[in-house]
């Protein structure tokens, strides 16, 4: 089973202990004691503590040249590692280049380390590590194989800075291929936001361990998740090799709360699958290459994705160029936010934003779709969100006025959807209020963090208690616009409702089962509360 290792910087026992206790309480299986800056007595004391030794330990003392903090000479470092080895940590981690270039390390440490077939003595086992803090080494596979050739290495580990998702996928490819050639356990970590999936999916790929920190602690490498994220959001301790992978493709994507929403839903219905953030650069070529690379890894079992800014048009193009299937309304909208990759048959796509918005409106007002068809709706903005909502409303038959800063953009959108059952017209944003509406929907980012005091319209006096005001912005949940509309007596609907209801459509497509909306809502609210 793949362990969660909590790295703890040990400067003094007193400072390290609270981190150790927090890590164990939150579910860490092992501790890495980073003793780069610890005096000999501190190393002795920390390795003697029963509250530390209740978990397996990795002893690491990394030099500055290796990206660590040990500032003494190499012979001083070797003497400290030798001394620490006699105190029997479970593992000792040595940088491969140091082992290779400095024969004294091997000569002095070998007698102190457990032999490759020694499962009895308490001698520490050897982890050899290769770090590259700038990029993925071109010869990564060769390096891992060379490390595996060294006796008595037990765990072969590589950590490198990921420049993009492809760098992370290479780690997953090696997890898939190398066990066919070598017998040692592997840890391959792509550092940074682009490499996060190598940490999250370490259990699916049967890695020896992955690193994670207790909530609120400093990380020891870029991109480390928290122990709580791994265990509770990504169900790390339950992941299986055959679990299908889903994710949200965007740029940036770290802010997305979709992983929290979908994984909570998966857990609630006991669905075997995991949903991860997938950062992909904005260009179509990057999108196409990333999807191709994921689909080419059989063990990844990539079955579907939510697609967010700026990739919704790229997703539609990808679907079209792969002869995918698309429903009529999504085809009319021209951009999609969901891709399904079934094991057999053509790929499918849909735009769940429009159904999410209409469903949020229907439930929030208690109106039927027929009621909605007889309403006059003012849509603020003419971008992607407005496009999906206008398409939905126009299909129902509502009367829609699109108000936008750039009139031309509103006119083009209105022209495209006018007469599609409903009547759609365009107006300058400043004209908002001139024509009475039953419903106003903000489809601009005005009011979204960090610009929480911005309103989408200058004058809100046109809003009154007969109206429904729906803000698609969901962070914060109660935007300034919704608060102001509420004060004027209007009924208000939060953007989170749209986000959840579009996620429900995706979830049901991913799993083939009913979505547990209540569970997904609790997860979304908790995630938003953490972000505020
Ligand atoms: P977009 O394609 O960039 O379009 C933004 C639109 O807002 C444009 O029409 C733009 O006008 C207008 N705009 C931008 N800043 C403005 C401001 N300060 N005042 C007035 N108008 C402004 O963006 P999008 O994809 O449509 O997303 C818009 C918002 O929808 C996002 O903030 C997002 O939170 C929300 N959204 C929510 C959900 C959900 O599930 N709840 C889903 C999708 C989107 P110009 O044309 O003049 O530039």
Residue whose CB lies within 8 A of the most ligand 1 atoms, among 251, 444, 470, for a mutation test:
444
For residue 77, how far is its CA from the centre of ligand 1 (angstroms)?
Answer: 56
Tokens of 24: 């164990």
Residue whose CB lies within 8 A of the most ligand 1 atoms, among 261, 307, 383, 474, for a mutation test:
383
Task: Assess whether pLDDT exceeds 70 at residue 532.
Answer: no
- Distance, in Å, from the CA atom of 366 to the CA atom of 205, rounded to the nearest integer, reads 47
Question: Which DSSP letter does residue 32 get?
Answer: E
Give the ligand 1 atom nearest the CA of 312. 25
On whether the CB atoms of residues 346 and 320 are closer than 8 A, the answer is: no
Residue whose CB lies within 8 A of the most ligand 1 atoms, among 445, 451, 506, 531, for a mutation test:
445
Ligand 1 residue neighbourhood (C-beta within 6 Å)? 309, 353, 356, 381-386, 404-406, 409, 429, 443-446, 448, 454, 456, 472-474, 495, 498-499, 502
Residues ≥6 apart with Cβ < 8 Å to 321: none
Residues ≥6 apart with Cβ < 8 Å to 483: none
For residue 499, how far is its CA from the centre of ligand 1 (angstroms)?
Answer: 14
Query: pLDDT of 225-242, one tens digit each?
Result: 999 999 999 999 999 999
On whether the CB atoms of residues 406 and 380 are closer than 8 A, the answer is: no
Query: pLDDT of 432-478, one tens digit each?
Result: 999 999 999 999 999 999 999 999 999 899 999 999 999 999 999 99
- Distance, in Å, from the CA atom of 422 to the CA atom of 396, rounded to the nearest integer, reads 7
On whether the CB atoms of residues 427 and 402 are closer than 8 A, the answer is: yes
Give the ligand 1 atom nearest the CA of 409. 46
pLDDT at residue number 432? 95
pLDDT at residue number 240? 97
For residue 472, how far is its CA from the centre of ligand 1 (angstroms)?
Answer: 9
Query: pLDDT of 138-151, one tens digit each?
Result: 999 999 999 999 99
For residue 455, how far is its CA from the centre of ligand 1 (angstroms)?
Answer: 12
For residue 416, how far is its CA from the centre of ligand 1 (angstroms)?
Answer: 19
- Distance, in Å, from the CA atom of 363 to the CA atom of 158, rounded to the nearest integer, reads 51
- Distance, in Å, from the CA atom of 500 to the CA atom of 35, rounded to the nearest integer, reads 46
Tokens of 386: 């407005």
- Distance, in Å, from the CA atom of 379 to the CA atom of 437, rounded to the nearest integer, reads 10
Query: pLDDT of 221-280, one tens digit each?
Result: 767 899 999 999 999 999 999 999 999 999 999 999 999 999 999 999 999 999 999 999
On whether the CB atoms of residues 427 and 407 are closer than 8 A, the answer is: yes
- Distance, in Å, from the CA atom of 382 to the CA atom of 161, rounded to the nearest integer, reads 39
The yes/no answer on whether domain 3-241 falls in CATH 3.30.70.141 is: no
For residue 96, how far is its CA from the centre of ligand 1 (angstroms)?
Answer: 50
Residue whose CB lies within 8 A of the most ligand 1 atoms, among 262, 351, 356, 443, for a mutation test:
443
Reduce the DSSP state of residue 276 to 3 states and report it. Answer: strand
pLDDT at residue number 474? 96
Residues ≥6 apart with Cβ < 8 Å to 402: 379, 381, 382, 386, 390, 410, 413, 414, 424, 425, 426, 427
On whether the CB atoms of residues 347 and 339 are closer than 8 A, the answer is: yes
Query: pLDDT of 308-338, one tens digit each?
Result: 999 999 999 999 999 999 999 999 999 999 9
Residues ≥6 apart with Cβ < 8 Å to 232: none
For the chain, give every domain's residue range. Answer: 3-241, 246-351+514-524, 362-493
Query: pLDDT of 102-147, one tens digit each?
Result: 999 999 999 999 998 998 999 999 999 999 999 999 999 999 999 9
Residue nearest to atom 10 of ligand 1 (CA): 381
- Distance, in Å, from the CA atom of 211 to the CA atom of 155, rounded to the nearest integer, reads 14
On whether the CB atoms of residues 50 and 251 are closer than 8 A, the answer is: no
Give the ligand 1 atom nearest the CA of 386. 26
Residue nearest to atom 1 of ligand 1 (CA): 383
Residue nearest to atom 4 of ligand 1 (CA): 383
Residues acting as catalytic residues: 131, 157, 312, 353
Q: Which helix (H) or strand (E) holds 307?
A: strand 302-307
Query: pLDDT of 62-96, one tens digit each?
Result: 999 999 999 999 999 999 999 999 999 999 999 99
Question: Which DSSP letter does residue 137 get?
Answer: -
For residue 473, how far is its CA from the centre of ligand 1 (angstroms)?
Answer: 8
**364 phi and psi angles, rounded to 5 deg:** -65, -25
CATH topology of domain 362-493: Rossmann fold (3.40.50)
**Does 362-493 match 246-351+514-524 at the fold level?**
yes
- Distance, in Å, from the CA atom of 303 to the CA atom of 288, rounded to the nearest integer, reads 15
Q: What's the CATH number for 246-351+514-524?
A: 3.40.50.10860
Task: Assess whether pLDDT exceeds 90 at residue 218.
Answer: no
CA dist 457 → 379, 400, 445 (Å): 11, 17, 12
For residue 384, how far is its CA from the centre of ligand 1 (angstroms)?
Answer: 7
Determine whether 84 is exposed, middle or buried from the number of CB atoms within 10 Å of its CB (0-12, 13-18, 19+).
buried
């Amino acid at each position: 089973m793949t362990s969660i290792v909590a790295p703890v910087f040990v400067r003094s026992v007193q400072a390290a202990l609270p981190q150790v206790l927090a890590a164990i309480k939150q579910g860490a299986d092992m501790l890495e004691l980073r003793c780069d800056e610890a005096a000999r007595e501190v190393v002795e004391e920390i390795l003697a503590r029963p509250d530390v030794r209740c978990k397996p330990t990795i002893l690491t003392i990394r030099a500055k040249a290796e990206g660590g903090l040990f500032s003494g000479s190499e012979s001083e470092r070797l003497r400290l590692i030798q001394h620490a080895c006699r105190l029997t940590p479970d593992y000792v981690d040595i940088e491969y280049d140091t082992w290779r270039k400095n024969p004294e390390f091997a000569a002095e440490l070998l007698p102190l380390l457990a032999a490759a077939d020694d499962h009895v003595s308490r001698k520490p086992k050897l982890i050899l590590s290769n770090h590259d803090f700038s990029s993925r080494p071109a010869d990564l596979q060769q390096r891992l194989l060379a490390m595996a050739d060294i006796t008595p290495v037990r765990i072969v580990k590589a950590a490198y800075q990921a420049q993009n998702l492809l760098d992370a996928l290479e780690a997953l490819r090696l997890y898939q291929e190398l066990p066919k050639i070598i017998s040692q356990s592997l840890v391959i970590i792509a550092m940074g936001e682009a490499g996060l999936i190598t940490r999250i999916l370490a259990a699916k790929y049967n890695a020896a361990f992955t690193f994670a920190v207790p909530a609120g602690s400093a990380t020891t490498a870029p991109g480390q998740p928290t122990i709580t994220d791994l265990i509770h959001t990504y169900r790390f301790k339950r992941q299986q090799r055959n679990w299908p992978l889903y994710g949200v493709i965007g740029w940036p994507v770290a802010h997305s709360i979709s992983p929290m929403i979908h994984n909570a839903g998966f857990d609630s219905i006991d669905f075997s699958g995991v949903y991860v953030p997938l950062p992909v650069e904005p260009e179509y070529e990057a999108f196409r290459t990333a999807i191709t690379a994921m689909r080419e890894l059989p063990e990844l079992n990539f079955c579907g994705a939510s697609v967010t800014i700026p990739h919704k048009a790229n997703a539609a193009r990808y679907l079209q160029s792969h002869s995918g299937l698309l429903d009529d309304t999504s085809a009319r909208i021209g951009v999609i936010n969901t891709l399904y990759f079934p094991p057999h048959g053509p790929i499918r796509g849909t735009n769940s934003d429009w159904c999410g918005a209409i469903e949020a409106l229907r439930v929030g007002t208690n109106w039927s779709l027929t009621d909605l068809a007889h309403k006059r709706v003012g849509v603020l903005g003419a971008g992607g969100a407005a496009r999906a909502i206008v398409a939905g409303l126009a299909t129902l038959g509502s009367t829609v006025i699109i108000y936008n800063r750039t009139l031309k953009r509103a006119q083009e959108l209105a022209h495209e959807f006018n007469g599609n059952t409903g009547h759609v017209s365009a107006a300058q944003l400043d004209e908002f209020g001139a024509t009475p509406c039953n419903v106003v929907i903000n489809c601009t980012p005005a009011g979204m963090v960090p610009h929480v005091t911005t309103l989408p319209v200058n004058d809100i006096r046109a809003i009154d208690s007969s109206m429904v005001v729906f803000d698609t912005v969901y962070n914060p949940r109660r935007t300034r616009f919704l608060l102001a509309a509420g004060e004027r007596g209007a009924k208000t609907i939060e953007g989170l409702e749209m986000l959840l209801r579009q996620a429900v459509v995706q979830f049901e497509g991913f799993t083939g089962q009913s979505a547990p909306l209540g569970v997904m809502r609790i997860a979304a609210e908790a995630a938003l509360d953490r972000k505020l």
